[in-house]
Amino acid sequence: MWKICAYQPREVRYLRPMAFRVRVEALREALGRVLPTVPSRSLYPITQNILLHQMGDTLEIRATDLEVSIRTVLNVVPEEGDAVSLALPPKPLMDLLKGFGDDEVISATQRDTFLQLSSAYGNYEFGGLPSEEFPAFPKVEEGGGVLFSIELLEEVISQTAFAAGKDDARLSLTGIYFDFTETHANFVATDAHTLVRLKREDMRLSYAPKLLLPVRALQSLQQALRGFPAGDTLTLYPAEGQALFHHPMLDMVCRLIDARYPDYQSVIPQKPPYTARISTDAFKRALRRLMVLSDRTSNLIRMSFEGNTLTLSAEDPMQNRSGRETLPCEYEGPDFKIAFRGSVIGGVVDHIASAEFILRMEAPGRAVVIEPDPQVPPSEALFLAMPLIM
């Protein structure tokens, strides 16, 4: 169930400035959490760096591309010397750390804008930039938030991100839509060819705004949380134009997509008359084989239902290739033919974990509803796939 809580800013302990030592594995894992956010190219070179900022026995590591900002903390052992606080390129540091064993220890000190590391094997130095040049972490005002598990976040992103659009010209389709209501929550993504709606009946938040979150931000967060216990909880704090995800060891703030999301409910057929129950594994295998023989341009896969038999076929006339397979299914309705781009129908079925799925069809040119069978409460997944006109 969702819980309401207030954001508590992390306590900062002001101690005498110190350098630190730390286990290599801990530092390497912390760097790995923020690396996906560091842009490979940027109009602002400072964002291609990370920030290391020591606060006594805590080391904060931050990264940003100005749209997404992420920070993590780890415990270190303070040592005599100036506190470490500077920005530097992350890859050389990460590559160096990969050369050490997990349980080895390194010491870090700072001289001007140089990070100096020492180990049992030798000494290493990295040039950096003053910490003052690194962008400040966005501030989110305290207020009500919603609490949910890392496991749920993983499910939401994994089940929806693949269907989001990649074309920035259609900005509203490039995110995952968090649609909260008084009775349930919907997580939606679409590129106009495929749509997925993940419904959670156990989530209710009547006052929450509708949030359109960038896929890249959520995938960066997903990577950052790998290795955290699945039962750990995150708090989502909606704010004006942005959202904060808070974990005791990690914060991520991202800008919301400033665009109106399409009325996805209106495109979902209510009672399609043609229904088929199909083995998920058998369909995946047949589709994989036939896509090898399909036309490279259209990627067309034809489907024909006759009685309790599904016939799949593909051809490439230019290359003199063709294929045809039959699968048993449970079909209700008169004979019916429909066709899909193989990548579209395959992308949907690849995200179905159940043994079977149900295909609900209305007309050869209308959107098809695809549902796992059985559904696994409290989640309810629904997919739409647009067919091709034969």
Domain hosting residue 225, numbered range: 144-266
Least confident of 208-212, 323-327, 340-344: 208-212
CATH number of the domain at 109, please. Answer: 3.10.150.10
Residue 6 has pLDDT above 60, yes or no: no
For helices 24-34 and 90-97, the axis angle rounded to 10 degrees is 140
Report yes or no: 83 and 18 within 8 Å, Cβ to Cβ. Answer: yes
Assess if residue 322 is contained within a domain: yes
pLDDT for 142 equals 60
**Which of 76, 105, 133 marks a domain boundary?**
133
Assess if residue 2 is contained within a domain: no
Share of the chain above pLDDT 90, in %: 79
Residue type, 291: M
Condensed to tens digits (0 to 9), the pLDDT of residues 119-155 reads 999 999 999 999 999 999 998 776 667 888 999 999 9
**Which of 266, 286, 304 marks a domain boundary?**
266
The SS3 assignment for 353 reads coil
Averaged pLDDT, 51-58: 95
Task: Give yes or no: residues 106 and 150 share one domain.
Answer: no
Task: Give yes or no: residues 286 and 374 share one domain.
Answer: yes
Higher pLDDT: 240 or 355? It is 355
Report yes or no: 370 and 347 within 8 Å, Cβ to Cβ. Answer: no
**Which of 133, 167, 188 marks a domain boundary?**
133
Task: Give yes or no: residues 331 and 316 share one domain.
Answer: yes
Condensed to tens digits (0 to 9), the pLDDT of residues 150-172 reads 999 999 999 999 999 999 889 99
Mean of the per-residue pLDDT values for the chain?
A: 91
Task: Give yes or no: residues 231 and 346 share one domain.
Answer: no
Task: Give yes or no: residues 12 and 119 share one domain.
Answer: yes
Condensed to tens digits (0 to 9), the pLDDT of residues 211-245 reads 999 999 999 999 999 989 988 999 998 888 999 99
Least confident of 15-19, 34-38, 115-119: 15-19
Least confident of 25-34, 192-201, 237-246: 237-246
56 contact partners, CB below 8 Å, separation of at least 6:
13, 14, 15, 18, 78
Condensed to tens digits (0 to 9), the pLDDT of residues 85-107 reads 999 999 999 999 999 999 999 99
Q: Which residue reads 């809580």 in tokens?
A: 5
Number of domains present in the structure of the chain = 3
- Rounded to 10 degrees, the C-alpha dihedral 259/260/265/268 comes to -60
| Nearest Cα residue to 147 out of 233, 238, 55 | 233
Task: Give yes or no: residues 182 and 262 share one domain.
Answer: yes
Task: Give yes or no: residues 260 and 283 share one domain.
Answer: no
Assess if residue 139 is contained within a domain: no
Task: Give yes or no: residues 239 and 351 share one domain.
Answer: no
Residue 1 has pLDDT above 70, yes or no: no
Assess if residue 197 is contained within a domain: yes
- Rounded to 10 degrees, the C-alpha dihedral 325/326/331/333 comes to 70
| Interatomic CA distance for residues 387 and 274, integer angstroms | 15
Share of the chain above pLDDT 70, in %: 94
| Interatomic CA distance for residues 322 and 319, integer angstroms | 9
Task: Give yes or no: residues 192 and 272 share one domain.
Answer: no
Task: Give yes or no: residues 189 and 282 share one domain.
Answer: no
Report yes or no: 253 and 220 within 8 Å, Cβ to Cβ. Answer: no
pLDDT for 18 equals 60
